[in-house]
Amino acid sequence: MTLVFTLVGVLVATTALFMSLAYTLQGYLYSEPADKLPLRAVIAGLLVAMMMTGWTYANTRASHKDKYGVLHEATPGEQHTISEFEAVRRYNIKQLDGTWKEETVKFTRTPSSDTFYEAGDTTKPFDPSKSGYIYPALIIKDGDEKIRLETPITEKWTYEDQTKTYREPDGKRYLEGTDPRFLVVPDAGAYTVMLLLNAGLIIVWFVAFWPVMRFSVGHSLGLMTIFAGVSLFVVMPLLFNSNAISK
């Protein structure tokens, strides 16, 4: 039902937007607004509303969050659930041979928990930000394969990647150190769909302004840049969150 409200809400908002822009800008730029303006505004609003609602449906019903999200937040690909891993713990102590002191620590979690604990000890959660040591690598079992994921460490003993993303050195798999429950395996097909949806919304805004609302090509490109940008950075993330379903 939320998707229905999304469609109607976006339709009403965009129809009003197109109407107001046409009356204010077209009268100034072209001496008079386009003919059949109310009908044109409804058609333009419907195009944008259908695109936004369809994209919202595809992304919120995907296998994981933001699989087909906006470009700067999307995580296209499969997610493999992780229940345990080994963390390479590096202490800020140099050994006699000049290498850092390290040990491998196993972390596990129960299916009902989102937190990994050291050797099942619920008093010792996995915390990459904990002072005294740092985790440069995680060793994950993906199916029958054991893989090592690494994150770069600076000379100042900090994580170079502030998001603490651990990546496969010679591959494409990765996971977020702040939430290591899911190993992300990039999917070329999902990535292509995500790009098409992002581009599709931009194109729909252009079509709505140019052939439908009868703005000039130049003005349509300018208006498209403004409103497609607002849609991608503000509106679509809000729609995804409000229509999200629990997995």
Residue 176 has pLDDT above 90, yes or no: no
Mean pLDDT of all residues in 51-77: 92
Q: State the average pLDDT for the chain.
A: 91
Q: Which helix (H) or strand (E) holds 28?
A: helix 27-29
pLDDT tens digits for range 183-196: 988 888 999 999 99
pLDDT tens digits for range 89-120: 999 888 888 888 999 999 999 878 889 999 87
pLDDT for res 89: 93
pLDDT tens digits for range 197-226: 999 999 999 999 999 999 999 999 999 999
- Other C-beta atoms within 10 Å of 158: how many? 10
**Phi-psi category of residue 228: left, alpha or beta, with phi > 0 → left and psi -120 to 50 → alpha:** alpha
DSSP-assigned letter for residue 56? H
pLDDT for res 1: 62
Q: Which residue's entry shows tokens 């059949």? A: 36
The pTM assigned to this predicted structure is: 0.73
The two tokens of residue 230 are 């607002």
More confident residue, 54 or 123: 54
Sheet bearing 165-167, strands edge to edge: 78-81, 179-185, 174-176, 165-167, 145-150, 133-142, 84-94, 100-108, 117-118
The two tokens of residue 71 are 């470009």
Residue 157 has pLDDT above 80, yes or no: no
d(CA 71, CA 115): 28
3-state secondary structure of 55: helix
pLDDT for res 79: 85
